[in-house]
Chains A and B, each alone.
Chain A
């Protein structure tokens, strides 16, 4: 079964706006990872956040983690057309389990 559940399942925003995706999980974790996948291609690793971290940044990406609520969010600021992709959260140490993903579409 899948550990993470992303919300929303799909999101369309105008280019330049910020996009926020959420991930909820069920059991305790040591870390959580976010990935991007463009049009059914391979997965690109975005950020790994550990359970003792609350926030992490990478360029236009900001990831937060709230272990008390068992949730994480991915914020993409100043979105671009190239950000159009599916985004997945994944949890686990020795093997990782993926959520269903959020399909993000950036409108020109």
Chain B
């Protein structure tokens, strides 16, 4: 398994501001993903973080709103830009060593936008 940490664990932000969430893995992994979980809902995939290239976004998510970086095989960031109360969610990163392998999740970042 992989040990995944996220920072911050939670934050309360004002609308119009941006927050960058960090995801650190204890070993090199091929695949990293970012998910959003709105209150009382299931997880929705935001994007696949690609090492050394632009992230691949799912329908309904755009780079201007959720810029993602992945400078190496153990680290990624997700920025939630120009936040509104609708962005209040738990944001989770996940990793897998390869296609078809078990996917592990970080503890999540609970974001509240006022």
Q: Which residues of A contact B (CB under 8 A)?
A: 2, 30-31, 33, 35, 40-45, 48, 88, 90, 93-101
Q: For chain B residues 24-58, which have a beta carbon within 8 Å of chain A?
A: 31, 33, 37, 41-45, 48
In the docked arrangement, what's the CA distance between A23 and B103, Å? Answer: 18
When distances are taken between beta carbons in the complex, the residues of chain B under 8 Å from A93 are 99-100
In the docked arrangement, what's the CA distance between A90 and B42, Å? Answer: 11
Tally A-B pairs: CB < 8 A.
50
Point out which of B43, B44, B92, B94 has the most chain A C-beta atoms below 10 A from its C-beta: B43
When distances are taken between beta carbons in the complex, the residues of chain A under 8 Å from B107 are 41-42
Partner pick for A97 among B45, B48, B105, CB 8 A cutoff: B45
Contact A95 B43 (CB under 8 A): no
When distances are taken between beta carbons in the complex, the residues of chain B under 8 Å from A45 are 1, 102-105
Point out which of A88, A94, A99 has the most chain B C-beta atoms below 10 A from its C-beta: A94
